[in-house]
Structure formats: C-alpha cells, structure tokens
Amino acid sequence: MIKRTIDISDGPTFLQIENDQLILLRHREKIASIPCEDVGVLLVENRATTYTHSAMTRLLARGAVVVLCGDDHLPCGILLPLENNDLHTQRLRAQIAAGLPLRKNLWRQIVAHKITGQAMNLPEEHVERKRLLVMAEEVKSGDTSNMEGQAARFYWPAMMGSEFRRDPDGAWPNPLLNYGYMVFRAAVARAVVAAGLHPAIGLYHSNRNNPFVLADDLVEVFRPRVDRAVVGVVSAGKSAIDKEAKQAVLSLLAEPVSIAGQVGPLMVSLHRMMASLVRCFQGEQKKLDLPE
C-alpha cells in the first residue's frame, strides 16, 4: 500500500490522535481523519500548527517521517522512526564493515545513474544529452575524476537556461529545487531506517555534524526527477513556492517506477532499493537495484 504525504500549510491546524487516527482540527472543527499507518510523510509548514506529543510518537511508531519547515517554508528538521527490528544489529554490522572498494563502487553506480537521469531530462536531439550519456559510462570507482561535477556544468544550462546558476541560496527556482530535494531526502532517510541501516554511515558523503549522510548519498538518484518537475512548474509561469508548486514535487512520491522488474509507487519502491543496498553490504549482490 502506498503511504500518504500530508502537507500542513494552509492554515492554523491542531493535530491529535484518536483511535490510531491522525485527526486534523481547524478552529475546533475536524477537517480530516487519517489512519496513522497510512501516513508516510507529514510535512508541517504552517507556523501556527500545534500537535500533541502522542501525535508525533504514534506517527513515528507507525513508520512515518515528520518534516518540520522553518520560516522560509523549507524543511529544517526531520523526525525518523527508530522502531525495533530483529535484523537491525546484523545489518548495521554489515554496513559498518563495508570496505572502501565496495563503497566506492556503489557511489560509482549512483553517480552514473544520476548523470543518465540528467541526460534523459533533455530532448533526444540535444547535443548535451549525448555528451552526458557518454560521461555516465566513464564514471570511475569513487568518481575520482569528479564526473558528477563535470556533468553539472553542461546539464544545468541545458536544463534551465544559460542564465541559471545552481545555488542553494540563489534566486528562483533554486528554492523549489531545495524543497524538492529535502522532501526526497526525508523519504530516503525513512526508507534507510526502515531497512535497519544507519543514516549517519555513508558511502561517499561524510560530515560529523550530518546524521543523514547515507540519505544524502542515495538521494542523488532522484534529483533528476525533482529537476524535471521544477522545470514543469517554471514553464507553467510559477515564480514562488505555492500549493501547486509543492504538489508538483510531492506527487513524485506516488509516481510509478520500476525497480528490479517490479513496478510500484516510488515511495514503496524505495524499500526495494534499500533492500538491495542491504544485500550489497552483506555480499549477496554487487549492483544496487535502481529505478529504471
């Protein structure tokens, strides 16, 4: 079953739990009732939102991830479930024991997949599409030649126009790209934890102040999907993060994708991808199962 993404942004809302249902109240009137087990991501953006402690803990117990947004309407924190898992210790040991050659090989696969996804975002006849496809084939173990960075130099002007500069602190549509990447980071982090892995033990990224470096590694696979959605929003004439712009990004989590020959919503397919990562750590396979 596909998990739902609940976006709290329209107005002052009170969240509480009744009979394992997430109840949304506005001006003391019930506006929604959602089974906790159906919630995959809860995005809380409106500053006037209040909630009970049990609302947060019950959602986490049911496997949901909670994303809290700041005054700039962008995610600034993530709450992840740490439920009991009989295989957690076994998988965590395998993750910690993963050697550098394996981690470098997995990172090569991720970067090559990302660059291929960037190429697929461009028209078939575009010269940069062909260039990027060649670059994806040339990614080395650990991406020691920084093919990811080289590809970005050709990709962004072709995708967004020659005047665009990808900068997290830059002008529109950079804020929407930030929003989309953070939404996917939260979804990936949730799937990582659900698989019994630790999000702070990465493949490539490393920062002692970042508890989600593994999510930062794996989210690279999905950035081209966000880019494509953002281009659609910009083409529709949007110039700010409004309800329609956010919906264009959030709907990607329900988009059908194929992983290892199985088709399903992206939010569900993330778990297949994480299961393949576990098998790689345990020496059962060498290639990640990534979206086709």
- Would residue 288 count as lying in a domain? no
Contact 241/73 with Cβ under 8 angstroms? yes
Element housing 53 (H / E):
helix 53-61
Cis peptide before 173 (omega within 30 of 0): yes
Distance CA 51, CA 181 (A): 26
Instruction: From first to last of the 292 residues of the chain, give the pLDDT tens digit.
Output: 567 878 887 789 999 999 999 999 999 999 999 999 999 888 888 889 999 999 999 999 988 888 888 876 666 787 888 765 456 678 889 999 999 999 999 999 999 999 999 999 999 999 999 999 999 999 999 999 999 999 999 999 999 999 999 999 999 999 999 999 999 998 898 788 878 788 889 999 887 778 889 999 999 999 999 999 999 999 999 999 998 999 999 999 999 999 999 999 998 899 899 999 999 999 999 999 999 8
Structure tokens at 156: 């962004």
Looking at 190-278, which runs of residues are DSSP E strands?
256-259, 262-265
Q: Is 181 inside any structural domain?
A: yes
pLDDT the model gives residue 59: 94
Tell me which residue range forms the domain holding 62.
Answer: 4-79
Write down the pLDDT at residue 80.
80
Asked whether residue 144 falls in the same domain as residue 174, the answer is: yes
**In the prediction, which pLDDT does 249 show?**
94
Give the burial class of 229: count Cβ atoms within 10 A of its Cβ; 0-12 exposed, 13-18 middle, 19 or more buried: buried
Q: Please indicate, yes or no, whether residues 211 and 274 belong to a single structural domain of this protein.
A: yes
Domain annotation covers residue 291 = no
| Residues 128, 70 share a domain | no
Structural domain count, the chain: 2
Q: What is the pLDDT of residue 71?
A: 77
| 254 and 150 inside one domain | yes
Does 287 map to a domain? no
Please indicate, yes or no, whether residues 194 and 157 belong to a single structural domain of this protein.
Answer: yes
**29 backbone dihedrals φ, ψ, rounded to 5°:** -110, 135
Among candidate residues 56, 79, 102, the one where a domain is terminated: 79
CATH of the domain at 160: 1.20.120.920
Looking at the structure, tell me whether residues 167 and 121 fall in a common domain. Answer: yes
Is 242 within the bounds of a domain? yes
Token couple for 167: 């900068």
Query: Do 221 and 275 reside in the same domain of the chain?
Result: yes
> Is residue 70 domain-shared with residue 96, that is, in the same domain?
no
Cα–Cα distance measured from residue 122 to residue 189, given in angstroms and rounded to the nearest whole number: 28
| Same domain (yes/no): 98, 227 | yes
Residues 151 and 265 in one domain: yes
* Within a domain: 292: no
Residues 6+ apart with CB under 8 A from 67: 41, 42, 43, 44, 75, 77, 78, 79, 182, 183, 186
Indicate whether 183 and 43 sit together in one domain: no
Last residue of a domain, one of 79, 107, 134: 79
Out of 46, 79, 112, a domain closes at 79
pTM: 0.81
The pLDDT of residue 216 is: 94
Q: Is 149 a member of any domain? A: yes
Find the angle CA(227)-CA(6)-CA(262) to the nearest 5 degrees.
Answer: 60
34: domain CATH number is 3.100.10.20
